[in-house]
Structure 1
Amino acid sequence: MKILISVLAFIWFLGWGFWFLYDKGHINLTSSLENQVAVSPINDTISTELEPPPPPSFLKNHPPADSIDAIIDSLMAKRKPGEAIQVISFYKEGEPYTGMNENPGIQRSINLMANAQKRYASRVLQPMGLKLMEGKDTTGISTYYQVVKVNKKSLFRIINDQRVLVFFPFASKNEKTSSKISDPLDSLTNIWKAEKNHLIITGYTDNSADETINYNLGLERAKSIQQRIVDNGFPENKITTLSRGEKDPISINTTSDGRYLNRRVEILVDK
């Protein structure tokens, strides 16, 4: 027992002495630890090179999301019979989506219109989802949309200087390109011809027939627009004509207005 007491007393005295020397600054534990641990050098150089500004986006003037209800109300107050308010949301190809409305753009527009649908009839509110295909800035694309007032039966829509939509009123293979689009299409053809652009013309349909019939109908629509452009002097070898049939809809197929928007030809201008 005496030996145990002596050992404990020695340990206590040794610890107290060590603390006394440390407290008085005679022992530096920090420097001892630093000598044992390899410290990685820190690069404290501050780069003076500024990041390049982001490329301009054709979406930059779109309205902020928190004002969607006010914009719809403002446009609705000026709406005339036969006009509709469209909410158009853009989405990126390959953007993940598992919903029921064909693409995330359509779903995004439906979500943005949720409050307005409580106040206005669905026949005057049209959701649209457009795939971003113009090769421009995609930064934050999932937050961007347009709200526009349109004639529900408009046959021609210029989205921007690289994209034009032509709509077909009827789901029929005998349907011909309307003469109502001749003047604007001819004017644009003259511009494309002068700028020596390449055109990609793609035909689409709604989903009211089987896939094969819709593919062929989409191709016939695309060829009818191609022929009109070629007749106006645009070189045929600078046009690519395609069909997507019922694929890639831009609106819901559960309403007549949505099916009307899906029966279309898209003209992409490769500058």
Structure 2
Amino acid sequence: MSKKLMYLLGIVLTILLGTYFYWKLCCNTCTDTSNSEHKEEIENNVTSTQKTPTYLPFMVKDANGNLSITINENFNFKESGLNFVRPVSAELDEQIINLKNYLTSIDGKTLSITGYYTSNEVNTSAFPNLGLARANSVKNYLTSKGIPSRIIDTYGKLNDNMVTDSLKVYHGPLFFDVLEFKDDSDQITVLGEELKENPIVLYFNTGEASINLTADQRERMAKISRYLDKVEGAWCIVTGHTDNTGDPTLNIKLGQDRANFAKNYLISNAIPESKITAISKGPLQPIADNATEEGRAKNRRTVITIK
């Protein structure tokens, strides 16, 4: 065999051996990495599989009467939403009329509405929790259908078992119950006196897009809502005040703008517009010295109370 042929065979053998070891060492590593990534992808898919959305029916029963309503339709709410999605179905409206006829045909019954919320939702309402805000939103709708607000009680409850659909909507996050009437007129009287002595005072600029209430103010807002429901002829008064800087006439208008802003906020939080009056006192009722900046800041306020 010539030296030239042996040289060529050596080159071919070197290539073959290099290819074998490359496949043995490198490709197996690549395959292991690929399998690891695929396994991780599968595990991620398993852990991220969406849970089945919760669908709670509209169900109202009277354990001590002959009312029993159950339909698959209900009031629905977007995630972190305090007002239900409109419009409601015709079937739901039909059953609400049946509920109204039952509650108004006999004495001694109250309707309890509990709104559910989850711990991962953001409460931007004026109420202590989003569930109570949702219950009040539904209460206003039922009132518009003829069910008196004085026989409706609203509550909020945490329920982390609820799951939204793909559009981030909760279906029927509510519980309804018909109970025997309990006279709480003495408590309502005490509640009214408390609210008049300790009204909600807001400090904000007219151009602000939202009002952020403290926890204590949210509690008082819930009490205002309850008082308006229970006391016939009661109403909420929103009064805008300013400092004495500038033209008095313009200050009256500025106070009215602030009062209207707060009124719209209350309306968006399920306080009936028909029960809210917004007025302005401008600079006429200061509570601090207008000679100082601190005093003027205290005078620029909006007060929410009941009458």
TM-score bracket relative to the smaller structure: 0.3 to 0.5
| TM-score of the two chains, using structure 2 as the length reference | 0.32
| TM-score of the two chains, using structure 1 as the length reference | 0.36
Task: Give the structure with the larger helix fraction.
Answer: 2
